[in-house]
Each structure stands twice: as C-alpha cells, then as structure tokens.
Amino acid sequence: MSKGVITITDAEFETEVLTADLPVLVYFWASWCGPCQLMSPLINLAATKYSDRLKVVKMEIDPNPLTVKQYQVEGVPALRLIKGEEILVSFEGVIGKDKLLSLLDPHLNSN
C-alpha cells in the first residue's frame, strides 16, 4: 500500500480514483500556482496521516483538461474527495491543516 502522494493523469484517473477501494483525495494543482506550493506539505501530511483509510493523488491541471472539466475545477489549488463515483468533498483555495482535517475526518473515521 502506498503511503505517498501519487501523481496521475487523465488516462489513469478511472483506475487510480474511480475504482479505488478507499476514498481518494484528488489534489488539483499547477506549476505556476504559488498557493499550490503552500498546500503541498498538507497534501503529503494527509497521505501520511490517513494512509490506511485514504488514497491521495495529485493532478496537474494544464496537461489533464478532461478531469479538470469533469470535476468542474475552476481554480487551484482544488481538492475533491471521491469515493467511487461520488464527490464527498469539493473545495477550492488554500486551507490550513485544521480545515483540511475537518473536511476529511467525517468521511474517514473508522469506527
């Protein structure tokens, strides 16, 4: 099981996200996006903290227009928490650690 953030493309989206056993946090970013660089450590933290309950992938928006359009990503950084075909969380903009964890926790608590 991977503990890190996996970089994916449009072509890999279905395999890596839609058919995954775990909920998947998709992090949309761009190389030219300053705020995205602030979010990267948080995305890595989520991948580590929830490694047993969450898969984390990142997708650069410019080379992957199909997924960006399908998930209506209008600004970066953007997050989508997806389980199967369902979007559990949709968020755009920079957030802090507490906010990120509060978005994820309700969907990941394994009781």
Active-site positions read 33, 36
How wide is the angle at C-alpha 4 spanned by C-alphas 101 and 99, nearest 5°? 15
How wide is the angle at C-alpha 93 spanned by C-alphas 91 and 99, nearest 5°? 65
Strands in 6-7's sheet, in edge-to-edge order, are 6-7, 55-60, 24-29, 78-83, 86-92
